[in-house]
């Protein structure tokens, strides 16, 4: 039986600015996204029946049709019924290492891996932009997860422009195991509290987005100036999540007290810090663990990576 094993990295947001609301209910964004080597492994195998089967080793992850990986397979089956008939259905096994509901695009990267894996299993030969288009139907962060690395994302988050690769930057991440922040809640609350400051005309939206494209963070990335990148981290969603979740605020303050550049990722509740070496990262991880002294707090050390979905092994 044909099978593929794929590696699906998480992302962090180095920058997230909300520019305005949109007629489709989403928000117009400008973000800088970065892949990190904290990754899920997704195994896909052709099966003789024309069904989709999903297994996952994480108790918080649904294995029904609400799983984004399942939805990615379902979308492929709907779009390519002849390939489904020719090659059979798919059995998907998710080995979950990315924390769930964490602001790290765990579900999105699994969905991206399933698109790539089924394209290979069924010999579809889809182009990268075709895969991006399918990814955007599943979620705003899915297109980024396909190629990963460092990129500016605009629109809902699905329009991408690559940025130069960043190497040798380590990340310390921390999240309370039982704490989840709803992404729709975060955007909706932001709109309620700060919506009146939106600029509604498109010229202004474009100029605000262009300011980021040629702005200090993008310049710091081009110069690989790690210290400056750290100083320029920004996330508008902190304005609503930190006041509503005091534990996340405390975690943010604990990271700050170590002197490292720190920020919440996406809609949270993961907080991360950027550091220059693995040794320093392990030190900060221990410092934050000691300051917080909470049995429910999980911490990880990861590294920036310049890849999105990758094939680890295959049987053809
Ligand atoms: C906040 C971010 C930052 O990277 O990531 P996470 O924290 O989820 O990882 C993203 O914007 C999330 O992306 P993703 O999780 O793919 O979002 P989607 O499934 O498309 O949308 C989930 C919900 O978030 C809100 N949403 C999302 C994107 C956007 N540009 N405007 C929005 O208002 C909408 O309420 C939508 O129903
Ligand atoms: N493949 C998946 N991995 C993780 N969570 C998933 C997946 N598919 C659906 N979910 C659901 O999506 C929600 C958001 O999870 P996740 O994608 O990890 O976080 P975020 O959107 O914050 O990056 C979870 O509460 C979970 O129930």
Kindly state whether residues 246 and 270 are assigned to the same domain.
yes
Domain encompassing residue 256? 170-303
The preferred substitution site among 24, 29, 181, 183 for testing ligand 1, maximizing ligand atoms within 8 Å of CB, is 183
For the chain, the average pLDDT equals: 95
Interatomic CA distance for residues 309 and 41, integer angstroms: 10
Question: Tens digit of pLDDT for each residue in 42-69?
Answer: 999 999 999 999 999 999 999 999 999 9
Res 204: pLDDT: 75
Q: How far is the CA of 184 from the centre of ligand 1 (A)?
A: 7
Measured from the CB, is residue 266 less than 6 Å from ligand 1? yes
Which CATH number covers residue 311? 3.30.230.10
Tally of domains within the chain: 2
Question: Tens digit of pLDDT for each residue in 71-129?
Answer: 999 999 999 999 999 999 999 999 999 999 999 999 999 999 999 999 999 999 999 99
* Closest ligand 1 atom to Cα of 266: 7
Kindly state whether residues 258 and 310 are assigned to the same domain.
no
Interatomic CA distance for residues 105 and 60, integer angstroms: 15
Mean pLDDT of 131-147: 98
Q: How far is the CA of 207 from the centre of ligand 1 (A)?
A: 22
Measure the N-to-C terminal CA separation of the chain; round to a whole number of Å. 7
Q: How far is the CA of 3 from the centre of ligand 1 (A)?
A: 31
Active-site residue flag, 289: no
Kindly state whether residues 61 and 145 are assigned to the same domain.
yes
Kindly state whether residues 310 and 298 are assigned to the same domain.
no
pTM: 0.97
Peptide bond into 153 cis (omega under 30): no
Mean pLDDT of 160-167: 95
Measured from the CB, is residue 183 less than 6 Å from ligand 1? yes
Kindly state whether residues 131 and 176 are assigned to the same domain.
no
Kindly state whether residues 7 and 93 are assigned to the same domain.
yes
Which CATH number covers residue 247? 3.30.70.890
Active-site residue flag, 43: no
Q: How far is CA 280 from CA 41, 157, 187, 255, 277, in A?
A: 27, 32, 34, 13, 5
The band of 203, judged by pLDDT with boundaries at 50, 70 and 90, is low
Neighbours of 226 (CB within 10 A): 19
Interatomic CA distance for residues 273 and 82, integer angstroms: 47
Q: What is the CA radius of gyration of the chain?
A: 20
Q: Which ligand is nearest to the CA of 179?
A: 2
Kindly state whether residues 105 and 182 are assigned to the same domain.
no
């Amino acid at each position: 039986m044909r099978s593929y094993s794929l590696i699906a990295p998480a992302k962090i947001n180095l920058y997230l600015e909300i520019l305005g609301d949109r007629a489709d209910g989403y928000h117009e964004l400008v973000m800088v996204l970065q892949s990190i080597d904290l990754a899920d492994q997704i195994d896909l195998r052709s099966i003789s029946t024309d069904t989709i089967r999903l297994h996952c080793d994480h108790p918080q992850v649904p294995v029904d049709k609400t799983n984004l990986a399942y939805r990615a397979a379902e979308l492929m089956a709907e779009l390519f019924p002849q390939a489904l008939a020719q090659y059979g259905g798919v059995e998907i096994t998710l080995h979950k290492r990315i924390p769930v509901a964490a602001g790290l695009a765990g579900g999105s990267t699994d969905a991206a891996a399933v698109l790539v894996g089924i394209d290979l299993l069924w010999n579809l030969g889809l182009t990268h932009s075709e895969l991006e288009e399918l990814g955007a139907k599943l979620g705003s962060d899915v297109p980024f997860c396909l190629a990963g690395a460092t990129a500016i994302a605009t629109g809902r988050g699905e329009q991408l422009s690559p940025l130069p690769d960043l190497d040798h930057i380590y990340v310390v991440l921390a999240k309370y195991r039982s704490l989840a922040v709803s992404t729709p809640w975060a955007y909706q609350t932001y709109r309620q509290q700060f919506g009146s400051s939106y600029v509604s005309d498109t010229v202004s939206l474009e100029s605000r987005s262009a300011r980021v494209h040629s702005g200090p963070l993008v310049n710091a990335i081009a110069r690989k100036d790690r210290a400056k990148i750290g100083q320029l981290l920004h996330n508008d969603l902190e304005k609503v999540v930190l006041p509503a979740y005091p534990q996340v605020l405390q975690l943010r303050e604990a990271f700050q007290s170590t002197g490292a550049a720190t920020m919440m990722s996406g809609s949270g509740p993961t907080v991360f810090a950027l550091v220059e070496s693995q040794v320093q990262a392990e030190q900060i991880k221990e410092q934050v663990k000691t300051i917080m002294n909470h049995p429910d707090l999980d911490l990880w050390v990861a590294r920036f990576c310049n890849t999105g979905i990758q094939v680890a092994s295959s049987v053809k």
